[in-house]
């Protein structure tokens, strides 16, 4: 959207994943773009961020990342009254009501949860299933997760590649270990040894039942291939569980009752809600969070407007 509105752009990719941006810039170099219009900067985030936050030529910072870093950007830009568009952390609920098809809900969860090994901001983190259909849902999702192949991402037979580094592996293992200590039951998965280096962080796809809101994987974003299932009995309880987080990026609801869907979605404090689908945002629609998941929108006309300034001209 910044390019579409004619803004000059400085892009700082995540320091752990610069290669995709470098490949994109190789393609951009083939285009007839004015010199200095599009710029790629790679390096340590601290010094680069300080310049972007303080330099007067930078009118807006659009950031995708953790809520902790988003709060830091708010602090650093406040003295300069600089505009921000922040897409921050999530803790997405995935609600399966008693009238939903449990098999269809399990099918939809697979690409939602396991895309990029569960390392996306909109993937389901807390799975809430009505008690009446828990058994059918657990059977369906367990069969599918157990069939996933873990291995080299360049192998066409692989379904799940490695997590980004050892720290990511340790976080997921810590969340699963905490859940098991607090009473969760592991239906699928095992304890793989931690990687000895920052590569090869292969974590076993996992399904847990008997999860609850006191567990770390309910309170924090796990960012890994773990399905943690908690049951509920009423619509009111499902809403309370879903909204029981400081984050509000994405949520998912499965029900056949259109009146119930309309009623529940209005009460879900999330910027994106998938109804009977696990799909995330699309470029033509505005996407962004509520609460500590940030502010501002990407995509759609609303995303373009983030990179514009409104000016009123009155003449006589």
Residues tagged active-site: 87, 121
What lies within 8 Å, CB to CB, of 63 at 6+ separation is: 69, 70, 73, 84, 85, 86, 87, 88
| Cα dihedral 116→120→125→130 (10° resolution) | -80
Task: Show the tokens assigned to 224.
Answer: 């890994």
CB atoms closer than 10 angstroms to residue 33: 11
User: By the 8 A CB rule, do 294 and 86 touch?
Assistant: yes
- Report the distance separating Cα 279 and Cα 194, nearest Å: 31
CA distance 242 to 234: 12
Burial class of residue 260 in the structure, from the number of CB atoms within 10 Å of its CB (0-12 exposed, 13-18 middle, 19+ buried): middle
């Amino acid at each position: 959207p910044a390019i579409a509105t004619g803004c000059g752009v400085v892009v700082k990719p995540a320091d752990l994943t610069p290669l995709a941006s470098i490949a994109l810039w190789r393609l951009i170099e083939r285009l007839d773009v004015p010199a200095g219009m599009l710029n790629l900067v790679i390096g340590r985030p601290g010094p680069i961020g300080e310049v972007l936050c303080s330099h007067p030529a930078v009118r807006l910072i659009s950031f995708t990342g953790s809520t902790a870093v988003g709060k830091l950007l708010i602090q650093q830009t406040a003295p300069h009254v600089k505009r921000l568009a922040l897409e921050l952390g999530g803790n997405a609920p995935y609600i399966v009501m008693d009238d939903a098809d449990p098999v269809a809900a399990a099918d939809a969860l697979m690409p939602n949860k396991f895309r990029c090994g569960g390392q996306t901001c909109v993937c389901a983190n807390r799975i809430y299933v009505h008690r009446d259909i828990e058994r059918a849902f657990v059977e369906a999702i367990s069969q599918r997760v157990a069939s996933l192949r873990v291995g080299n991402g360049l192998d066409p037979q692989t379904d799940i590649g490695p997590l980004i580094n050892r720290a990511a592996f340790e976080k997921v293992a810590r969340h699963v270990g905490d859940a098991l200590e607090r009473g969760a039951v592991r239906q699928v998965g095992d304890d793989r040894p931690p990687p000895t280096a920052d590569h090869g962080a292969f974590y076993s796809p996992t399904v847990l039942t008997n999860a609850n809101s006191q567990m770390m994987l309910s309170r924090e974003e796990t960012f890994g291939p773990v399905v943690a299932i908690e049951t509920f009995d009423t619509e009111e309880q499902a809403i309370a569980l879903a909204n029981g987080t400081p984050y509000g990026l994405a949520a998912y609801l499965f029900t056949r009752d259109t009146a119930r869907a309309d009623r529940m979605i209005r009460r879900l404090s999330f910027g994106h809600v998938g109804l009977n689908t696990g799909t995330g945002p699309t470029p033509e629609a505005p996407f962004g969070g509520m609460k500590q998941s940030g502010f501002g929108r990407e995509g759609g006309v609303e995303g373009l407007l983030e990179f514009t300034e409104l000016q009123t001209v009155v003449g006589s």
